[in-house]
Structure 1
Amino acid sequence: MAIRSSLEIAPGSVVEVYRQPDGDTSPVTAVLTNLSTNLAKANAVELLLLSSSDAPLASTTLTAQGSGYTSVPAARVTSKVKVAPELQVRMELNGLTIGNAGLNYRVNDVLTLGCGASTKPTLTVTAVDINGRVLSLGITTRGFLTTLAREQVGLKTTGGKGRDLILSATYRVASFVLLTPGSGYSELPIVDIDGPAAGTISLTPNIQPRHRLVRQELAVDEFIVVKDLPLTPGDTLVVKASASVAVKVIE
């Protein structure tokens, strides 16, 4: 009996634990042990398969939005995959700086930003001086944007006679749209973000249920053994766990 992989997984992780080597068709056995010390709670542990022949990326989950974007970043999967998926990034308004405070604005005036979007960001004037110069603004809706404009000039005002307000805007990622899922994954998808960014974006792959080999609630020190998994070269085993888990893959 030889150990092919042995590692510990932190709570809440999705981790690639083993990849079948090229030219190897021998079956393996996976042993998963709950290392949690929480006696009052059973913890969910899942063993998943990313097949080298067919393991589509079902969807993506945005886990960090980043901030300070002034242009739309491109997203692409850089992991080993036969047919890469297509991802489209959608942005939303994140921050504003007043460049020119304008004149004749009133509190509660509603302003619409000029961006390429089906849903444009809107702002509400929250404070002005005696001449109607804007002192502060609130973001009413953040929009759903595919193109960005950093400098906002000639904003459309609903009500009032305000003019000449100039704003500088920054944005954050609102969501990713999965245009095509791709196929033939041999490892967990890694998404590379292009373009300038003052924040970090990360994705968690949502693996389709048909690739779940086992899901079980484990008590403290309880373990499960999944015997004689028939893997083909390039197949990858992934563990998703809500608790600390020890994983061994043996032949």
Structure 2
Amino acid sequence: MKRFKLKGRHIKALRQGRERRATQKEFAHELLISERQLRKIERQDLEVGVELLDRLSTALSVPRDELVYANEHPRLVSDNTTAPSVTKQATPCSEVTKIPRFDTDFARATDDETRLLDYAKNCHIVILHVLAKLTAETGQYVEELLDLMQSVTWKNYDLLNPLDGRQELLLRRRLRELLVLLKGNDVWVYLTDNTKLLPESMTEVIDRSNSSMELQTIIAVGPPGEYGEDTLKVPVDNGQPRTIDPASLLT
């Protein structure tokens, strides 16, 4: 079956710019894939089959060819054992989406030290937002949590001296202990990620040929959710304003 290389950064921007916004977990559920696979799509330009490409196209309301790197339009390729299936084409979205430099996103509560570590290992920097009143004790827990996550980011991780199994076990254990200690003091940890475009600018940079990306993990410490709510609105810095005009990409 033919596979297509996805434009991960563009897909993430479209997801974040939807009128009906969704966290990675919610959008992954909508696509019938794991959250881990969605993170790989948005960060690593993953190659996927046409079925998932069609689900992405429908969910984001854009044509399939807008989501992939290809010299020709994506098309179904049948194998020798099954007849070609009929695929519903997504309706092109003509609405221009403007994403400001400074915006907000929803971080989701977590008590999973593995998620914290995975996010930290796949970013350049960890950003902290303190959205709850902290005591001297809980402040120390938060500071240690941030230091541990920062220690394994791309900026600080020494590829020549990777963590051995024992070191990683100790790191996971301490992260788990800190999460329990904070939650016991009615301080929840919320997690999301963000892609920041560099260099920073308050006006949109039309020519992004010299731009680069800073992958950020954002953690926020905030109050417990009420009425079953497990998300918290957090500020994000996109580095540069962005405009997404799907219609212009069809010409």
TM-score category (smaller protein): under 0.3
Structure with greater helix share of residues: 2
Structure-2-length-normalised TM-score: 0.27
Structure-1-length-normalised TM-score: 0.27
Higher relative contact order (CA 8 A, sep 6+): 1
